[in-house]
């Protein structure tokens, strides 16, 4: 039996790898390939997989590991840093999508429970797909990328609450049963978080001193807490998620997550293969019309729902659209939520099959929307007038002779130079904290991204004389250089690079001058050594002068500088 299962899982993984090659060629997320592999490996198609119970056990481990690692990322600091824009946008989108999906299901004559479960499943977007495609495009640090990641994190938090609720629910559950379960959760959760915050930090050095011990301890923590919550009446998946959240503020959390990801990836692959094999037994043709209807709703309405609050926060239409299409699919959380609801007999397995089909269609469709977002937006502008450019403020209509992208990485020095020249200038940055600082200092500014074409046009950079970028993203700088050369070939363009090769690439792209901060600092201290030798007194004078400059120009305290 063991040998038979080993052969089954081997053939299924080989099939998954072959289909994944096709997915890579057509630029689709590998998740789709895994589900298709499970579909083909099922007994009713190629007949590769027969040991369903063992495969289901492995897939449960994969989901527990996935949720444990998701929980590791939900620490209070990350939640605090989400920002108002991501928080408001995420909550509005989840609530609106849930209500729309549930109302449509009710209108089709389905039960309230089925409608509610499907509506909630439609509300969550895939963190895995979103982050993967943003990373592939190297745009996770752009303004829209940061907002999208923030919205995804808000969805993860809300999805966590949804999983806890459905885990505590079930057919025939009463308010009293729910209350008892809630008290059990508190009885486990309160000591757990006290231990993780008060005692575990003292054991961090001991646990982290050996990598194998750290790995084993992390698995024991995640599965142990998961099993404890399952014993209390919740699910193993929810317990693993809470175990990750309890560990999230610990210094070990990041390393634990990094070490568990390879083993998580294997088991998650098995989960999607298992999901695909179950799909083969479903009435796909019967569920397809409903799946296409709800897929169209997700692909069309999710971007619109996301765009509306972002536009209200004065973000450009292009950036708002980019964030919207990043959310135009349903999540792995949606699948887990539907599966848990079916396990609790809240809904039938038909809903799980329907959610799986919607996931396949929306992940495939949104992948192309994300990859070709800018071209898609330009085509939509031709048929939808409200997407066309309109100036947002009087400030952006002004012609600025000097334009600075970025402020924190030496930009303040350029602002001082601009003021001395008495030229009209503006600073463009996408960090909300920087914007607040510029507001306090009464420095002309615009909240935006160097790769936002709509913003570049509104700012009238095509008439500027000097454009400076101190952002570290070379891709963004290359884009900016290309745009400025096409629209304003007489402008001087100064950029920043981290390495000599990057500097060469930017020069070839057309930059007038490229700054290398690390090398400039090395040259300066090298010249000082040549001049003053190794006299420590001279170094002390040099240090004191530099320290005084930093404190006076950047408002740094003595304690933070030493």
Domain ranges of the chain: 2-383, 395-515, 521-561
Residue 558 φ then ψ, to 5°: -65, -40
* Nearest one of 139, 138, 130, 141 to 90, comparing CA atoms: 130
Distance between start and end Cα atoms, the chain: 65
CATH topology (fold) of 395-515: Rossmann fold (3.40.50)
102, 115 Cβ separation under 8 angstroms? yes
* All residues at 6 or more sequence positions from 458 whose CB lies less than 8 Å from its CB, including other chains: 316, 389, 391, 392, 396, 397
Task: Write the CA distances from 159 to 19, 215, 369, integer angstroms.
Answer: 30, 27, 24
In DSSP terms, 404 is beta-bridged to 427, 468
pLDDT at res. 477? 87
Helix axes 284-312, 84-107, angle to 10 degrees: 140
Helix axes 143-168, 317-326, angle to 10 degrees: 40
- How far, rounded to the nearest angstrom, does the alpha carbon of residue 128 sit from its chain's CA centroid? 8
Task: Write the CA distances from 180 to 165, 177, 183, 190, 346, integer angstroms.
Answer: 13, 5, 5, 15, 19
Residue 76, Cβ density class (10 Å: 0-12 exposed, 13-18 middle, ≥19 buried): exposed
Cα–Cα distance for residue pair 99/120, rounded to 1 Å: 8
Cα–Cα distance for residue pair 73/264, rounded to 1 Å: 15
Which ranges of 330-421 would DSSP assign to H, the alpha helix? 332-343, 349-371, 373-383, 411-421
Q: Hey, CA dihedral for 230, 236, 242, 243, is it positive or negative? A: positive
What averages of pLDDT result for each successive group of 10 residues across the chain (562 residues)?
A: 70 86 80 80 78 76 80 66 76 92 91 91 83 69 76 82 75 60 79 83 78 84 86 78 82 78 78 74 77 91 88 80 88 84 84 87 84 80 68 52 84 81 84 76 82 75 86 84 89 85 86 79 67 70 72 54 40
Cα–Cα distance for residue pair 489/516, rounded to 1 Å: 24
CATH topology (fold) of 2-383: Na+/H+ antiporter like fold (1.20.1530)
436, 372 Cβ separation under 8 angstroms? no
pLDDT at res. 561? 41
pLDDT at res. 98? 92
pLDDT at res. 178? 64
Task: Write the CA distances from 98 to 115, 124, 294, integer angstroms.
Answer: 9, 9, 12
Strands 445-447 and 466-469: unpaired
Q: What is the dihedral of CA 238, 240, 244, 247, to 10 degrees?
A: 120
Tokens of 29: 């997320």
Cα–Cα distance for residue pair 283/22, rounded to 1 Å: 26
* Nearest one of 208, 218, 290 to 71, comparing CA atoms: 218
Locus of tokens 């305290």 = 557
Task: Write the CA distances from 257 to 82, 163, 280, 458, integer angstroms.
Answer: 21, 21, 33, 43
DSSP string, 458-502: HTTGGG-SEEEE--S-HHHHHHHHHHHHHH-TTSEEEEE-SSHHH
For 447, the 3-state DSSP assignment is: strand
pTM: 0.68
Q: CA triplet 327, 329, 331: central angle to 5 degrees?
A: 95
* All residues at 6 or more sequence positions from 64 whose CB lies less than 8 Å from its CB, including other chains: 222, 223, 226, 236, 237, 239, 240
Q: Name the DSSP letter for residue 386.
A: G
324, 149 Cβ separation under 8 angstroms? no
């Amino acid at each position: 039996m063991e040998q038979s299962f080993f052969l089954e899982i081997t053939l299924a993984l080989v099939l998954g790898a072959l289909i994944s090659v096709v997915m890579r060629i057509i630029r689709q997320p590998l998740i789709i390939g895994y589900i298709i592999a499970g579909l083909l490996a099922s007994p009713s198609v190629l007949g590769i997989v027969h040991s369903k119970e063992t495969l289901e056990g492995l897939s449960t481990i994969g989901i527990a590991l996935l949720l444990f690692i998701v929980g590791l990322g939900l620490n209070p600091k990350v939640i605090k840093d989400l920002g108002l824009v991501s928080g408001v946008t995420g909550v509005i989108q989840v609530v609106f999508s849930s209500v729309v999906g549930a109302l449509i299901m009710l209108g089709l004559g389905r039960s309230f429970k089925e409608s509610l479960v499907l509506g909630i499943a439609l509300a969550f977007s895939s963190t895995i797909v979103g982050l993967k495609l943003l990373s592939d495009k190297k745009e996770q640090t752009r303004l829209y990328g940061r907002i999208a990641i923030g919205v995804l994190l808000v969805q993860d938090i809300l999805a966590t609450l949804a999983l806890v609720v459905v885990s505590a629910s079930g057919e025939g559950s009463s308010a009293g049963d729910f209350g008892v379960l809630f008290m059990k959760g508190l009885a486990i959760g309160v000591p757990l978080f006290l231990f993780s915050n008060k005692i575990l930090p003292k054991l961090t050095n001991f646990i982290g001193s050996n990598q194998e011990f750290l790995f084993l301890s992390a698995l024991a923590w995640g599965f142990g807490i998961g099993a404890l919550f399952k014993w209390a009446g919740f699910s193993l998946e929810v317990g693993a998620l809470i175990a990750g959240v309890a560990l999230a503020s610990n210094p070990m959390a990041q390393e634990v997550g990094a070490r568990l990801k390879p083993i998580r990836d294997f088991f998650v692959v098995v989960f999607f293969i298992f999901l695909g094999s179950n799909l083969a037994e479903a009435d796909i043709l019967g569920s397809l019309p409903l799946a296409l209807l709800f897929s169209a709703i997700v692909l069309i309405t999710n971007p619109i729902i996301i765009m509306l609050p972002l536009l209200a926060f004065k973000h450009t239409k292009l950036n708002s659209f980019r964030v919207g299409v990043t959310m135009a699919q349903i999540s792995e959380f949606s699948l887990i939520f539907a599966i848990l609801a079916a396990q609790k007999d809240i809904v039938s397995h038909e809903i799980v099959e329907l959610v799986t089909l919607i996931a396949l269609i929306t992940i495939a469709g949104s992948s192309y929307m994300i990859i070709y977002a800018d071209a898609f937006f330009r085509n939509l502008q031709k048929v939808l007038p409200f997407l066309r450019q309109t100036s947002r403020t009087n400030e952006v209509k002004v012609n600025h002779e000097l334009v600075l992208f970025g402020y924190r990485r030496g930009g303040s020095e350029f602002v001082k130079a601009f003021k001395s020249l008495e030229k009209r200038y503006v600073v463009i940055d996408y960090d909300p904290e920087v914007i607040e600082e510029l507001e306090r200092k009464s420095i002309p500014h615009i909240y935006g991204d160097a790769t936002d074409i709509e913003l570049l046009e509104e700012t009238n950079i095509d008439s500027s004389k000097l454009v400076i970028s101190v952002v570290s993203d070379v891709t963004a700088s290359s884009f900016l250089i290309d745009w400025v050369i096409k629209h304003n070939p007489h402008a001087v363009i100064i950029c920043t690079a981290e390495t000599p090769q990057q500097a060469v690439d930017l020069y070839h792209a057309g930059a007038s001058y490229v700054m290398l901060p690390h090398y400039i600092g090395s040259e300066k201290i090298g010249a000082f050594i040549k001049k003053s030798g190794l006299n420590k007194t001279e170094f002390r004078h040099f240090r004191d002068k530099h320290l005084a400059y930093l404190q006076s120009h950047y408002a740094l305290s003595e304690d933070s500088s030493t």
